[in-house]
Chains A and B, each alone.
Chain A
């Protein structure tokens, strides 16, 4: 179950919001783009970018978020976290994480910490259960 499939299946009954947060593996940080490890990661995650530097201001961050949205083609509108990373911190969302928030504003599903806890299938199950 991919995010695109989830969006296509549920977007009329669920509001999907992608929040673009600070780069997890930029060239000037914990980069996965070199050597054998880089080759292995590219094989596993061909959709990710391996030539992105950590944006230094909000306009740079917005530009990279736009490239990300265009490349991944999830069809989900993308919001951009501020340079203070306030929303990412509030949800402990780095490098990636999924939540479902009910109509009453309370958390229905809180995915485990990424990257290993990023499980769209679990989000789907939570959506199904919530909408039932």
Chain B
């Protein structure tokens, strides 16, 4: 029971913070028809980088954002 109450308290705290983050950044996130913000990031093996713009004029790109948890 104690851990459940603790979970609810943490959820209320983090959910508020989380919603604020989403509202703040979603206002500037690209919408359909907008130019997608370019980026350059490393692959996990660090052997090379990838730029979104590398695929411009080549292929459409499906972007999948997420984490392990």
Q: Enumerate chain A interface residues (CB-CB to B < 8 A).
A: 3, 6, 10, 13-26, 29-32, 34-38, 48-50, 52, 62, 64-69, 71, 74, 76-82, 86-110, 113-114, 118, 123, 127, 130-131
Q: Is the interface of B mostly helix, strand, loop or mixed?
A: mixed
Q: A69, A74, A105, A131: which has the most chain B beta carbons within 10 Å? A: A105
**Chain A CB within 10 Å, residue with most, of B4, B26, B61, B67:** B67
Which residue of chain A lies nearest to B46 when distances are taken between CB atoms in the complex?
A62
B64 and A76 contact, CB distance less than 8 A: yes
Q: With A and B bound together, what is the CA distance between A131 and B26 in angstroms?
A: 27
* Nearest Cβ on chain B to A72's Cβ, whole angstroms: 8
Cross-interface CB contact of B35 among A62, A92, A105, cutoff 8 Å: A105
Judged by DSSP, the binding face of A is: mixed
Across the interface, do A103 and B64 meet the contact criterion of CB distance under 8 Å?
no
* Chain B residue with the shortest CB-CB distance to A123: B62
Instruction: Choose from B3, B18, B46, B59 the contact partner of A35 (Cβ within 8 Å).
Output: B3
- Rounded to whole angstroms, the CA-CA distance of A66 and B43 in the bound complex is 9
The reply to whether A30 and B18 contact each other, CB–CB distance below 8 Å, is yes
B50:A79 contact, CB within 8 angstroms: yes
